[in-house]
């Protein structure tokens, strides 16, 4: 991040400015360091560190819960577990190093790891978005046609969606950063901005637009599908309420229970989608306008937007804990060590209300 240089006139009586603090002392080409005072520095480490720990352990519990308990082996839950893997990897490979960069205003991990770090950042963000898009398709089919849904969205279909959600983002981000395509036409600017201790790769307008479309198109799909889901859910609820006073056959009662369960799952995952969009939209929009309008976002604002988006990886397990009784029970069994018992995978994790 660069800043405009302001020229000031000093009188001879004024004391000289304090020496600049560098990321690497006695190294030519080192970046200038902008350290925080001790109080804010500790507070930032606590806030950012808490987000990283929550992202790692919260999503780890989601993955363990879905993979260990056989009752949770469903196409939707496999998508949720894969989404949790992406968020888990953000907590492991992205957030700890970004925390040091944000607080210390320096990158101490080398240029090669900077490229890898940026690649992971982009890949896991796009992967999360693709997972959420496929989950919205899954929920749309489940709510609009719950009885036929098991034959349409099978485990193999879920596996195919998971593969697409991982392969395409990894290939895209790897090709973007490891071929140097990200700064085509901006090589001179990249050289001017480069200094030892910086990790902020330059993206040209073409790739900024591509990133924006990769975010916007799945987002539009999700908004459209969830709008239809809630319209259908409202009609189903009205139909069920109208039939409460009438005698229902066991078949009709079963249909009502299935529809209610699928609507509840759609509502929970809809909250997850909204949380993702709220977290990432400010950063995506800021990057787009920065590139096309030539606006330079102040460094502290940029860091706020970045960490607002990172914290989404820590938020999903909290959403599941709030809305899924089975997740709370699975976490309790995991933390208390019950999962180490041989027969624990067959434990019933669903409550009567689920």
pLDDT tens digits, 240-276:
666 655 555 555 555 555 556 666 666 777 788 888 8
User: Is 52's pLDDT higher than 90?
Assistant: yes
Per-residue pLDDT tens over the stretch 82-100: 999 999 999 999 999 999 9
Query: Could you give the CA distance from residue 304 to residue 94 in angstroms, rounded to a whole number?
Result: 15
pLDDT over 80 (residue 25)? yes
Reply yes or no on whether the pLDDT at 2 is more than 50.
Answer: no
Tally of domains in the chain: 1
Phi and psi at 145, nearest 5°, equal -145, 70
For residue range 102-113, what is the model confidence (pLDDT) as tens digits?
A: 999 899 998 899
How far apart, in whole angstroms, are the C-alpha atoms of residue 42 and residue 321?
29
Q: Is residue 23 part of a domain?
A: no
204 domain-assigned: yes
- Domain-located, residue 354: no
Location of structure tokens 């790739």: 207
Neighbour-count burial of 304, counting CB atoms closer than 10 A to its CB (0-12 exposed, 13-18 middle, 19+ buried): middle
**15 secondary structure, DSSP code:** P
Model confidence band, residue 73 (pLDDT cutoffs 50, 70, 90): very high
Residue 237 within a domain: yes
Q: Is the pLDDT of residue 37 over 80?
A: yes
Q: What is the pLDDT of residue 3?
A: 33
Helix (H, G, I), strand (E, B) or coil at 30: strand
DSSP letters, 263-296, are HHHHHHHHHHHHHHHHHHHHHHHHHHHHHHH---
Sequence-separated (6 or more) residues with CB below 8 Å from residue 304: none
Residue 24 banded pLDDT, cuts 50, 70, 90: confident
Query: Burial of 348 by CB count in 10 Å (0-12 exposed, 13-18 middle, 19+ buried)?
Result: exposed
Q: How far apart (Å, rounded) are the C-alpha atoms in residues 309 and 286?
A: 12
pLDDT above 70 covers a percentage of the chain that reads 84
Task: Identify any residues that bridge with 30 across adjacent strands, giving them in sequence order.
Answer: 196
Residue 299 lies in a domain: yes
Q: What is the pLDDT of residues 307-334, one digit of tens each?
A: 999 999 999 888 888 888 888 888 888 8
Orientation of helix 111-144 relative to helix 95-104, angle to 10°: 130
* Euclidean distance between CA atoms 141 and 116, whole angstroms: 37
Provide the pLDDT for residue 131: 94
Say what the pTM is.
0.84
Q: How far is CA 227 from the centre of its chain?
A: 22
Average pLDDT over residues 185-192: 72
Residue 152: inside a domain: yes
Environment class of 158 (CB within 10 Å of its CB; exposed 0-12, middle 13-18, buried 19+)? buried
Q: How many CA atoms lie within 13 A of 284 on its CB side?
A: 21
Residue 213 lies in a domain: yes
Q: What is the per-residue pLDDT for 260?
A: 61
Q: What is the pLDDT of residues 132-171, one digit of tens each?
A: 999 989 988 888 888 888 888 899 999 999 999 999 999 9
Tell me which residue range forms the domain holding 230. 38-340
pLDDT of res. 196: 87
Whether residue 346 is contained in a domain is answered as no
Q: Is the pLDDT of residue 293 over 60?
A: yes
Q: Any idea what the CATH number is for the domain that residue 121 is in?
A: 1.20.1070.10
How many whole angstroms separate alpha carbon 106 and alpha carbon 97? 10
Answer whether residue 284 shows pLDDT above 70. Answer: yes
In what helix (H) or strand (E) does residue 50 lie, and over which residues does it extend?
A: helix 38-68
Q: Which one-letter DSSP state was computed for residue 63?
A: H
Enter the tokens of residue 145: 């046609």
């Amino acid at each position: 991040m660069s800043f405009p240089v302001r020229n000031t006139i000093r009188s001879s009586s004024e004391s000289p400015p304090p020496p600049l603090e560098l990321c690497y002392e006695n190294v030519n080409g080192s970046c200038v360091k902008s350290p925080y005072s001790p109080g804010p520095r500790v507070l930032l480490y606590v806030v950012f560190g808490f987000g990283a720990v929550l992202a790692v352990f919260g999503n780890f519990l989601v993955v363990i819960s879905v993979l260990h308990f056989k009752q949770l082996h469903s196409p939707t839950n496999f998508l949720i577990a894969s989404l949790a893997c992406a968020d888990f990897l953000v907590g492991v490979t992205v957030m700890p190093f970004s925390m040091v960069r944000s607080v210390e205003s320096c990158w101490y991990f080398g240029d090669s790891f900077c490229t890898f770090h940026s690649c992971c950042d982009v890949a896991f963000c796009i992967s999360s978005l693709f997972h959420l898009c496929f989950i919205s398709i899954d929920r749309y089919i489940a709510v609009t046609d719950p009885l036929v849904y098991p034959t349409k969205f099978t485990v193999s279909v879920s596996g195919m969606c998971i593969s697409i959600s991982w392969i395409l983002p990894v290939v895209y981000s790897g090709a973007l950063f490891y071929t140097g395509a990200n700064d085509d036409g901006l090589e001179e600017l990249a050289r001017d901005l480069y200094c030892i201790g910086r990790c902020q790769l330059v993206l040209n307008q073409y790739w900024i637009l591509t990133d924006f479309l990769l975010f916007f198109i799945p987002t539009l799909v999700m908004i459209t599908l969830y709008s239809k889901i809630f319209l259908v859910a409202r009609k189903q609820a009205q139909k069920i309420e109208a039939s409460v006073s009438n005698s229902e056959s066991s078949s009709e009662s079963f249909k009502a229970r299935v529809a209610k369960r699928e609507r509840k799952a759609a509502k929970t995952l809809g909250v997850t989608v909204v949380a993702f969009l709220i977290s990432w939209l400010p950063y995506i929009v800021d990057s787009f306008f920065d590139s096309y309008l030539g606006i330079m976002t102040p460094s502290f604002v940029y860091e706020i937007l970045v960490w607002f988006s990172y914290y989404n990886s820590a938020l999903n397990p909290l959403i599941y804990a709030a809305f899924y009784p089975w997740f709370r029970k699975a976490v309790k069994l995991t933390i208390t060590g019950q999962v180490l018992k041989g027969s624990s995978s067959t434990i019933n994790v669903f409550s009567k209300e689920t």
